[in-house]
Amino acid sequence: MRSSPAAPASDLLQADDRRGPWQPAARRDSLWQRLRLLVITQLWDAYCRARSQPEQPTQPAHIAARVISAARIQMRRDWLLVGSNIRLRAGVLSHWLRGRQPSMTAEAFQSRWCHEEVLCSRPAEVTEPPHMHWTAAHPVPLPR
């Protein structure tokens, strides 16, 4: 019996094709979705930029750096929710923030971003920023 061929990487990225043999681990599914959307967003931004500014081509390394930067920004934003309630700190009416969780536990942050401490790791104190390991520096540091 032959196994079905793996889905092309573009299908996995664009359509999140789950028909092939590759699947993210169940505990990493939300991280896969989050990173997948970050990549798609940056690819779309690069496409739109190339269409509006054809004289300034975007290099793949720039797109990769923007993906990493966007992920790091999202990690920092989520960390701001740990130990505080954005509805109390936002300076706007709380009903404007409907649909967004007002706070997050350190455990929820760790579950969302700190899988095997590859992308980042949780600091000992809530007052410290998370330790970001994912970087565009070359060579890429190996996970611990």
Spatial separation of the C-alpha atoms in residues 103 and 94, rounded to whole Å: 13
Mean pLDDT computed over 104-110: 88
How many H-runs (helices) and E-runs (strands) does the chain carry? 5, 2
**Average model confidence (pLDDT) across the chain:** 79
User: For the segment 120-132, what is each residue's pLDDT rounded down to a tens digit?
Assistant: 998 888 788 889 8
Longest dimension (CA), the chain: 62
List the structure tokens of 72. Answer: 């790091």
User: For the segment 74-99, what is each residue's pLDDT rounded down to a tens digit?
Assistant: 998 888 888 776 665 656 556 655 66
Q: pLDDT-derived band of residue 1, with 50, 70 and 90 as boundaries? A: very low
Spatial separation of the C-alpha atoms in residues 116 and 72, rounded to whole Å: 16
Residue 76 CB coordination number (10 Å): 13
More confident residue, 24 or 34: 34
List the structure tokens of 88. Answer: 């109390």
Is the per-residue pLDDT at 2 higher than 60?
no
Residue 104 CB coordination number (10 Å): 19
pLDDT at 73: 92
Nearest CA among 36, 6, 3, 2 for reference residue 20: 6
Q: Using the structure block, give the residue that is written with the tokens 């970087």.
A: 135
